[in-house]
Amino acid sequence: MIESAKVAVVGVGNNTSALVQGINFYRHTGSLVGIHRSELAGLGVGDIDVVAAFAISEAKVGRDLHEAIFLPPNNFPRLDADLLPSGVTVQRGLVDATEIERVAHALKGAEVLLYSAPSGRPETARAYAEAALLAGVAFVNTTSDAVAREASLLERFEAAGLPLLGDDLASQFGTSVVHHALLRLLEERGLTLVSSYQVNLGGTEDFRNLVENPNTKKQSKLNAVGSDKVQMAPLGYLPHLGSQKIAHLNVEAQGWGGTAVSLDVRLRVHDPSGAAGVNIDLIRMAAAALRAGRGGYLSEAAALLKSPPGTAI
Amino acid sequence: MIESAKVAVVGVGNNTSALVQGINFYRHTGSLVGIHRSELAGLGVGDIDVVAAFAISEAKVGRDLHEAIFLPPNNFPRLDADLLPSGVTVQRGLVDATEIERVAHALKGAEVLLYSAPSGRPETARAYAEAALLAGVAFVNTTSDAVAREASLLERFEAAGLPLLGDDLASQFGTSVVHHALLRLLEERGLTLVSSYQVNLGGTEDFRNLVENPNTKKQSKLNAVGSDKVQMAPLGYLPHLGSQKIAHLNVEAQGWGGTAVSLDVRLRVHDPSGAAGVNIDLIRMAAAALRAGRGGYLSEAAALLKSPPGTAI
Amino acid sequence: MIESAKVAVVGVGNNTSALVQGINFYRHTGSLVGIHRSELAGLGVGDIDVVAAFAISEAKVGRDLHEAIFLPPNNFPRLDADLLPSGVTVQRGLVDATEIERVAHALKGAEVLLYSAPSGRPETARAYAEAALLAGVAFVNTTSDAVAREASLLERFEAAGLPLLGDDLASQFGTSVVHHALLRLLEERGLTLVSSYQVNLGGTEDFRNLVENPNTKKQSKLNAVGSDKVQMAPLGYLPHLGSQKIAHLNVEAQGWGGTAVSLDVRLRVHDPSGAAGVNIDLIRMAAAALRAGRGGYLSEAAALLKSPPGTAI
Amino acid sequence: MIESAKVAVVGVGNNTSALVQGINFYRHTGSLVGIHRSELAGLGVGDIDVVAAFAISEAKVGRDLHEAIFLPPNNFPRLDADLLPSGVTVQRGLVDATEIERVAHALKGAEVLLYSAPSGRPETARAYAEAALLAGVAFVNTTSDAVAREASLLERFEAAGLPLLGDDLASQFGTSVVHHALLRLLEERGLTLVSSYQVNLGGTEDFRNLVENPNTKKQSKLNAVGSDKVQMAPLGYLPHLGSQKIAHLNVEAQGWGGTAVSLDVRLRVHDPSGAAGVNIDLIRMAAAALRAGRGGYLSEAAALLKSPPGTAI
């Protein structure tokens, strides 16, 4: 029987809650619902041990991880499985580069460091990457901050035989995935796109941050969809949605003879689930590669990342 | 410059209206909207000449084809392009096998016979196929009646060097196409399907026939979607919809940790456009193969047909 | 403090499950969510005691009412409140008029008999009404079978000082309610209705019966909506919906200058809740009137009934 | 036969296009589709003569009104009726109070001045009101700028026997109307509102202005809906929608026993039609009152205005 992958996480938000609860759910129920790859490099979805966690929220530091994931502003729901104390106490995250050594020390025993903090603090992201290098641990960057796209950093991970995966994870299932599939379908069938729009509504802290800084994400979403006929309505932060996202998509097209074709879609999904469903694969890929002595970027992760090495920063 | 394909049509219903009007639209506007293949074997979408047409409606027989396509119960809309008289007078269709020779004689000058009458009269379909054989003309069967699936008939077309395409065309874009794409997407992303339903509403004569004989089509649609978790609501004939079809699709699934994912889709499309967009390719394939001396079934048509040779009758 | 109303129920299906569970829910939680009238004639929604229950299902007869309501084909969900044994054992319902006396005897202690069996057995309905007369108990007919519309029966209840309410309850909130409100709104604002359709999907046994006998209900629904421009799609029985009903409504209209106005609505609701929310009022009206010595039909129930005395049978 | 009402308009945007085209449409087609009141005080919807028009766009000034209404950024569609030249040349609108006399002079022959410029310039609105006073013409303010709510101004109109109607017109049919009706329906039926949201998407210049200055309108819409459980997503300016507005409404509620009730609505409507459908009534009310010698505010206009005299400025 294969040994579980040992993971440390940075950030104890909704995505970490979904990941940690999900691992526990699959381990204890034996269920395989909603899983993309039930086994990856010999590792099942329950074969992950979280061995360390870092956060900067005063309320979360010092708490058991299995308590901390339910503290506000987290609002991912409690999954339907018993959750015993994890035995992992949330540690204070690093604030500047002087703390790299402390973090590296705390990574002892970990094989992978999953960086799952909010986007927008590239120095912090890279400081954690330095700590991973120092500790001999693989690094997975799920944020849009440039880490794997930093050529010099990537080279150093490669040289050290340490996997470095990033940047910015592509959700398992979300608005972009559905919108893109519909537009691709139109094209495959020979229809002509006339116009399309996308409205995204959500209730997480992440969503609130995006609403306050909409431009970056909007651009990134447009890229993901890949057509200039697609218009993005401003994101709507609706707290009562909790960790649910609701999207309204419309596609207007023309078929044979110019006749009208319309598609209206309403999608409801839990954003943090979409992240966890991909993180579980990135972690397993990184752990397996580390064990096999493969350092640097891993091509098998390409479909799971929005901005892999080589794309614009 | 390539010579236009010469086509005779059986049935002057909505699908023929969409085909004939569309050919005229593309020829005169130069537009390419809504076209799957702008060129196929050197033939553009406007490079089709309709040289004969057969119908059994008293009102349509004896009228110019470009008038007959607008007679009730046809309700496909008038496309936005001038439509001069076609010069083709609708002829009386055959009622029994004694008239095969008359029809064969009337096919002089045609390269392809497109059989586009209502489904449900297999003897009639095969009588027209006999006429095509007699006249040395390729045959395309768009109905669900077994013609290309009749092994002995297929062998005779093959032996005669005449293409035989069928049976039952797959629409360019319709409910099954969208539903199937969504279910495939779910599977690709690793989500677990919980339940799904499909409601189809339409206002054509074809739709009325299906409502009165729902079982065949319902089964065929289930096959097209390919999952036993998909439930089909009874078809609804709503005359005010005219040649539009409206479909309501729902997909309930589970993502990571069993969290809920919902998709609700409303699709609006003109059914006859979906047929014409595929017929235009079947005609061009058949004409090109005839000219090249290739008889029998054509593998390149596989994606355009629901029940090709070898599938159950 | 007012004494609770004593009720006997005929039929232990979903509607009775919703009623019985709901009374328990409101009594124990003190909640007032989803209630039309928190108090009616001094009676709260928890001030109802079910004192007898009749069913014909072998599986249900002889079981405690609080167990029987969860037996198949019932599929109304378990509400979020503890449910102790009721102490009421489900009795065998009457099959023919020879059993009227037995039932009347079993009604001892009841003030109201709520007839909540499936529609379509008018003789049975009237036999229970006879039992109520014999026992001196008010009668509420929630089915579309003619009871209160039988003039001679109504006169006898009136003469006996016993309330008789019916026929056919109007749901608290369902497709007709929403559709009617939208059409009324259009009219109030001066828009011109062009077309409208309604699709109803459900998963209860009642729904299955309607699908198999669609004509009556369809006509009744059309009456409820009150416009000949409204088209009803056939009902769809989708077992996975359980006691949920899903309706798709479309309204196409014209505003100023003939410009288009479209409304598309998706409604999701539990049918048995809509019934229980009205039954709770009919029971309280009947009990209060009985106590006040008012017999016959009660005008205050008019808005809760689809076919009151005087309407066509 | 009654004499037509003589109207002057300020602002030659979409709302004026809809009004002017609509009057012509009803006059020439005799149609009554989409009209709230076919006759009001003896005046039909076609019994309006536009006798003067003011704009500040260089492109519109000097053009015939029936040309100017189609100039960008106007994008209200061309209605289906011939539109001859109006004979009314668009005049330069006033920029400051020094031009009041010029405008008053140009109002000779008008009975009503309809102020239909963009909201947000209260001084301009009041300067036109002064011109109306000077010219002895009734004034209708369709913007949210305070005019009728200015007590001293209202008194002067009253003293002069001139009607003054305002402020801010309530659309004939729009998102607020539908949302309010649904919430009222829930309440009438005794359901408990859990949450609700509203997304508005539009493509007019007015919409673009609102998107850039969202706060005022958002607040005003919340007031119109009247519940703190209703959340408004940010307005989305999607140019391809033209003068159409699309709204997505969601209502989550609880029925009997706390069971879930969901309503999802998609509304599509032309905003300028909703304005014209109300302006036609305000004009007729004002003209009729002027002829009858009734000055000041008219209570019969209350339902057509969002901020009548006495409400907060």
Residue A16's Cβ-side half-sphere holds a number of Cα atoms within 13 Å equal to 30
A267–B270 CB contact, under 8 Å: no
Neighbours of A222 (CB within 10 A): 16
Tell me the C-alpha distance between B135 and B130, whole Å: 9
Tell me the C-alpha distance between D81 and D212, whole Å: 35
- Name A225's Cβ contacts closer than 8 Å, sequence gap at least 6: A176, A179, A180, A183, A196, A198
**Among the residues of chain A, which ranges form H helices?**
14-29, 65-68, 100-106, 122-135, 151-159, 175-188, 205-212, 214-225, 271-291
Using only C-alpha atoms, chain A has a radius of gyration, in whole angstroms, of 20
DSSP H or E run through A61: none
pLDDT for res D58: 96
Cβ atoms of residues A149 and A313 within 8 Å: yes
Tell me the C-alpha distance between C151 and C313, whole Å: 11
pLDDT for res A221: 55
C240 contacts chain B (CB < 8 A) = yes
Torsion of CA B265, B270, B275, B280, to 10 degrees: -120
B240 contacts chain C (CB < 8 A) = yes
On the question of pLDDT at D94 being above 50, the answer is yes
Tell me the C-alpha distance between D185 and C268, whole Å: 15
The residue to which tokens 């109109």 are assigned: D157
Tell me the C-alpha distance between C7 and C47, whole Å: 11
Considering only CA atoms, which of B293, B242, B304 is closest in space to residue B114?
Answer: B304
Average of per-residue pLDDT across C75-100: 95
Q: Encode pLDDT of C181-215 as tens digits.
A: 999 999 999 999 999 999 999 999 989 988 887 65
Cβ atoms of residues B267 and B246 within 8 Å: yes
Considering only CA atoms, which of B158, B165, B167 is closest in space to residue B293?
Answer: B158
Considering only CA atoms, which of C311, C280, C312, C295 is closest in space to residue C15?
Answer: C280
Query: Is-cis flag, bond preceding D73, omega within 30?
Result: yes
Q: Is D302 exposed, middle or buried (0-12, 13-18, 19+ CB in 10 A)?
A: exposed
Torsion of CA C202, C207, C211, C214, to 10 degrees: -110
Which tokens belong to B200?
């189809």
Q: Nearest C-alpha of chain B: how many angstroms from A224?
A: 16
Q: Nearest C-alpha of chain B: how many angstroms from A198?
A: 14
Tell me the C-alpha distance between B265 and B179, whole Å: 9
Low-confidence ranges of chain B (pLDDT < 70): 214-227
Q: Compare all CA atoms of chain B with the CA of A30 and give the residue at the minimum distance.
A: B257
What is the distance between the terminal CA atoms of chain D, rounded to a whole angstrom? 41
| CA angle in degrees (0–180, nearest 5) for C43-C44-C49 | 80
A263 contacts chain D (CB < 8 A) = no
User: What interhelical angle do C14-29 and C271-291 show, nearest 10?
Assistant: 70
pLDDT for res A222: 52
Q: Encode pLDDT of D198-233 as tens digits.
A: 999 999 998 998 888 765 545 455 545 556 899 999
B311 contacts chain C (CB < 8 A) = no
B69 contacts chain A (CB < 8 A) = no
CA D181 to chain centroid:
20
Cβ atoms of residues C221 and C170 within 8 Å: no
pLDDT for res D253: 98
A238–D231 CB contact, under 8 Å: yes
Considering only CA atoms, which of D65, D7, D66, D97 is closest in space to residue D280?
Answer: D7
Which tokens belong to A52?
């360390």
Tell me the C-alpha distance between C270 and D191, whole Å: 13
Q: Label residues D188-221 b or e (16+ Cβ within 10 Å = b).
A: ebbbbbbbbbbbbbbbbbbbeebbeeeeebbeeb
Tell me the C-alpha distance between D289 and D285, whole Å: 6
Q: Chain A to chain B, count of Cβ pairs less than 8 Å apart?
A: 172
Q: What is the pLDDT along chain A (313 residues), one digit of tens a residue?
A: 789 999 999 999 999 999 999 999 999 999 999 999 999 999 999 999 999 999 999 999 999 999 999 999 999 999 989 999 999 999 999 999 999 999 999 999 999 999 999 999 999 999 999 999 999 999 999 999 999 999 999 999 999 999 999 999 999 999 999 999 999 999 999 999 999 999 999 999 989 988 887 655 454 555 455 568 999 999 999 999 999 999 999 999 999 999 999 999 999 999 999 999 999 999 999 999 999 999 999 999 999 999 999 998 8
A192 contacts chain D (CB < 8 A) = no
Q: SS3 of D196, please?
A: strand
ipTM: 0.94
Tell me the C-alpha distance between B5 and B40, whole Å: 12
Which tokens belong to D185?
């329906």
Cβ atoms of residues A253 and A192 within 8 Å: yes
In chain C, the percentage of residues whose pLDDT exceeds 90 is: 90
Distances (CA, A) of B191 to B183, B197, B251, C32, D63: 9, 17, 11, 38, 61
Cβ atoms of residues B183 and B227 within 8 Å: yes
Which tokens belong to B216?
């065949």
C259–D270 CB contact, under 8 Å: yes
pLDDT for res D219: 47
Average of per-residue pLDDT across C4-33: 97
**B residues 70..99 contacting A (CB < 8 A):** 77, 79-80
* C169 vs D contacts (CB less than 8 Å): none
3-state helix, strand, coil in chain D (%, to 5): 40, 25, 35
Using H for helix, E for strand and C for coil, what is the string for chain B? CCCCEEEEEECCCHHHHHHHHHHHHHHHHCCCCCCCCCEECCEECCCEEEEEEEECCCCCCCCEHHHHCCCCCCCCCCCCCCCCCCCCECEECCCCHHHHHHHHHHCCCCCEEEECCCCCCHHHHHHHHHHHHHHCCEEEECCCCCCCCCHHHHHHHHHCCCEEECCCECCCCCHHHHHHHHHHHHHHHCCEEEEEEEEEEECCHHHHHHHHCHHHHHHHHHHHHCCCCEEECCCEECHHHCCEEEEEEEEEEECHHHCEEEEEEEEEEEHHHHHHHHHHHHHHHHHHHHHCCCCECCHHHHHHECCCCCCCC
Tell me the C-alpha distance between B208 and B202, whole Å: 8
Q: Encode pLDDT of C104-116 as tens digits.
A: 999 999 999 999 9
Average of per-residue pLDDT across C224-235: 80
pLDDT for res B212: 84
pLDDT for res B210: 85
C199 closest CB neighbour out of B194, B199, B231: B199
Q: Compare all CA atoms of chain D with the CA of A239 and give the residue at the minimum distance.
A: D231
pLDDT for res A313: 84
* Best of A227, A237, A248 to mutate (most D CBs within 10 Å, chain D): A248
Which tokens belong to D202?
């539009």
Supply φ then ψ for residue D171, to 5 degrees. Answer: -60, 150
Supply φ then ψ for residue B254, to 5 degrees. Answer: -125, 135
Amino acid found at C176 = S
pLDDT for res B42: 96
D265–C264 CB contact, under 8 Å: yes
Residue D150's Cβ-side half-sphere holds a number of Cα atoms within 13 Å equal to 17
A273–B266 CB contact, under 8 Å: no
